[in-house]
Structure 1
Amino acid sequence: MTTKSSRRIAFQGALGAYSHEACLQARPDATPIPCETFEDVLRAVREDRADLAMLPVENTIYGRVADIHRLLPESGMHIIAEAFVRVRICLMARPGVTLDDVKHVRAHLVLLPQARRFLEQNGITSEPAADSAGAAAELAKDGPRHEGVLASSVAAEIHGLEVLAEGIEDLDHNTTRFLLMAPDIDLSRRSERMLTTFVFEVRNIPAALYKAMGGFATNGVNMTKLESYMVGGSFTATQFYADIEGHPEDAHVKRALDELGYFTNMLEVLGVYPAHPDRPSGS
C-alpha cells in the first residue's frame, strides 16, 4: 500500500519541468512520474502507476491551458489542492561554460518569447524545443559548448548544468496555476478559506445563464472564475467551468448552488479544496 509520504504524482513533461516544480511544492516527499501528454498523466493514475495528477490550468500571461477544461470533467478525478508556480527562467549550460560562450539556446516555444529582451541584449539566437526540461537533459548528455537552455533551476539541478543567469524573464508576474487531482473527492473542511470548483450546463431557456449566476450575487458568493467551452462538437451544447470561494456546506454557498440547480441540466462538483497561501484575497 502506498503511504502518504511516498505517493506518486504524475505530471506532463520531463523531470525539471515547471510542472515538476509544482509537484515538489505541493508534495515534496512524493515520487514524480513524468508523462508525455496530459492524457498520459490521467491514464497513469487510472492504471495505478501514479496516485495523484498535477495539471496546469492557467497562466497569467497566456490564459487558460488548452484542452485542460475539457479533460477535467471527463477524467473521473477530483481537485484536492492548488499550487502557484512563479515561472523564473534560467539560462543554463554545461559545466565550465561561461555566458560569453553561449551563442544559441533551446527552450519550449512558449518560453522563448518570455526572455526575448535578455537574449537580444546578449546576442543569443534561439530555437524551439519540444520541452525545456527535455532540452536540458539533451544538453547535459552531449550538447555543444556554445549552446544553452532556458528552463527552471530544478532542471539545472537534476541534469547537472550550471545556471549562468536567472530571473531573465521579461515580465515579473509570470505565474502558472496548477491543480492537484486524486481519484476520490475530499469534501472535508481543511482550511478556513476553501474553494469549490464545478462544471455545469445551463438549460435551453431564455436568460438561463443570467438567472443561474444571479444566485451567487444575491447570496454574496465570490465567483473567481467562469469560463465556457463547447462539448460534443456542437455550438449549442456549452458547458461552464467555475471556481467560487467557500465550501458547499456554507449556508450562502448552498443556497447559491441550489438556485443554480434550477437552471442547469448538469452540475458536477470537481473539487473542494483549500485556497493556496499565494492566492490573492478575492481572486
Structure 2
Amino acid sequence: MNELEKARKEIEAIDSQMASLYEQRMDAVRHVISYKMENNLPIYDKQREEKLIEKNRKYIKNPDYELYYVDFLKHVMENSKDFQRSLQSQDIVAYCGIKGAFAHMTCEKLFPQSHTMGLSSFEDVFDAVVQKRAQYGVIPFENTNSGLVGEVLDALNSYPVYILGAYNLKVEQCLLGLPEATLKDVEWVYSKDQALSQAKVFLQELNVKTVAYPNTALAAQYVALEKDIHKAAIGAKENAAFYGLKVLATHIEENNQNTTRFMVIGLEPSNQGDRFSLCLVIEHKAGSLAQIIDIIGKHGLNMQCIQSRPIKGRPFEYFFFIEFDGNLEDENVQHCLKEIRTICERVKVLGNYTLKED
C-alpha cells in the first residue's frame, strides 16, 4: 500500500466516524426544532451562531486549518437550519388566496389533516415551498373554459420544484351579494379574471360592470366589507357562508363542465404515478418542434397536452410544456428522454404524478 492509499484509507475511516457523529448531531437538532416550535422561537439565532463559531474555532490546534474549519462550521449550521425548516414545514400546504378560494377548498380535499397557509400570489406559493415554509403548494394550472394560468407555468419552469399530483375540481360559479340584495340591485361584479371570463354571457345579460380581483374569495370578502347592495362577487357558494353573503344566482358559468386543474408541488420528486411532465427549450429554427414530436412518437409515448409560453428576455421565442402518459422509470420513457436531451437547449423534468377527479 503506497502513501496515497494509506491516506485515503485513513480519510475513509474518519468519514465513517463523522457520519455517526452527524447522525447524533441531527438527532439533537430534532429536539432543538421541537422546542423552538413549541415555544414559537425563530430557527435562526445570529448571536448564538457567532458565539459558537468563536468558541469552536479554538478547538483547532493547527492554524493552517482554522479558517477552513470556520467555513465547515458555517456549512454545518446552514445544513442544520435547512433540516429544521423542512421539519417546521411538515403538514403545511400553501395556496394563493384566503379561506374560501377554490385553491383553499382543493387543499382541504387533498390534505384534510394538514394546516393551510394562504398567500397573496402564485409566486409566493412557489417561494414558500422552495424556502421550506410549506411542505406542499397547491396551484391552479388550467381551466376548461379560460385556459392555462400562464404565470403558474412560468413558475413551474423556473422554480426548482416538482409536480406531485394533479386534481380536477368541478367549479360551480355563483353570484354572491349582501343578504338584502337582489339581482336587480347589482351594478358591479368583482372576481378573479378567469371567473369573470367563465361567466361572461351571464354578466352581459345582467348588464353590469366588472372589476378583476386577485381571487374569488378576496372578492367575496370585499363585497361583504363594503356593505353595498349594488356590489356582488363571483365565487363558490361556500363563500356565502364564510362571509355572510347570499347566493343570488347559481351555475352562472358558461360551460356546465367548468373544471379547474390544480397541481400539487413539492421539492422532492415522486417515483409513483401514471403521468409525467417536461418543460423543453428547443432550438429556434424550422423543424425543431417537429423533430421532438417525431422522437416522442417513435418511442410510443402519448401526449396528454402540449403548451407554449414566451421565454423571458428572448422575444418571440418559446418554451414548451408537455404532459405524457407513463412513468419516468419506464424503459421507453428513459430512451425518449435521452434522445430528446441531445437536441434540446434545456430539459426540465417535472416528475411523476397521478390525476385525481373531483
TM-score of the pair, normalised by structure 1: 0.83
Higher relative contact order (CA 8 A, sep 6+): 1
Corresponding residue for 2:228?
A: 144
Please, which moves more after superposition, 18-27 or 206-215? Answer: 206-215
Q: Distance in 2 between matches of 1:94 and 1:235?
A: 47
Question: Residue 12 in 1 paired to residue 96 in 2?
Answer: yes
Q: Which amino acid aligns with 2:166?
A: E
Which of 1 and 2 has greater Rg? 2
Q: Distance in 2 between matches of 1:44 and 1:79?
A: 15
Corresponding residue for 1:197?
A: 277
Question: Residue 258 in 1 paired to residue 338 in 2?
Answer: yes
Corresponding residue for 1:43?
A: 127
Q: 1:192-217: per-residue Cα shift (whole Å, max 9, x none)?
A: xx111111223577634323222221
Q: 1:103-126: per-residue Cα shift (whole Å, max 9, x none)?
A: 2342224323433444455x5623
Corresponding residue for 1:185?
A: 269
Question: Residue 99 in 1 paired to residue 188 in 2?
Answer: no
Corresponding residue for 1:281?
A: none
Residues 31 and 102 of structure 1, relative CA distance in 2, 3 Å threshold: farther
Counting aligned pairs with the same residue, the percent is 26
Residues 251 and 46 of structure 1, relative CA distance in 2, 3 Å threshold: closer
Residues 154 and 44 of structure 1, relative CA distance in 2, 3 Å threshold: farther
Corresponding residue for 1:21?
A: 105
Residues 125 and 227 of structure 1, relative CA distance in 2, 3 Å threshold: closer
Residues 105 and 87 of structure 1, relative CA distance in 2, 3 Å threshold: farther
Q: Distance in 1 between matches of 2:197 and 2:269?
A: 38
Q: Please identify which structure carries the higher helix content.
A: 2
Q: Distance in 2 between matches of 1:199 and 1:113?
A: 27
Determine helix, strand or coil for the equivalent of 2:150: coil
Please, which moves more after superposition, 38-47 or 178-187? Answer: 38-47
Q: Which amino acid aligns with 1:84?
A: N
Shift of 1:57: 1.8
Contact 1:105 1:124 in 2 (8 A): no
Unpaired runs of 5+ residues, structure 2, are 1-86
- Pick aligned residue for 1:33 from 117, 132, 135: 117
- Pick aligned residue for 2:243 from 159, 175, 187: 159
Q: Which amino acid aligns with 2:277?
A: T
TM-score of the pair, normalised by structure 2: 0.67
Corresponding residue for 2:143?
A: 59
Shift of 1:77: 1.0
Alignment size in residue pairs: 270
Corresponding residue for 1:128?
A: 211
Determine helix, strand or coil for the equivalent of 1:67: helix
Q: Which amino acid aligns with 2:260?
A: T
Q: Which amino acid aligns with 1:148?
A: A
Residues 94 and 214 of structure 1, relative CA distance in 2, 3 Å threshold: same
Question: Residue 242 in 1 paired to residue 322 in 2?
Answer: yes
Corresponding residue for 1:218?
A: 298
Please, which moves more after superposition, 165-174 or 233-242? Answer: 233-242
Determine helix, strand or coil for the equivalent of 1:170: coil
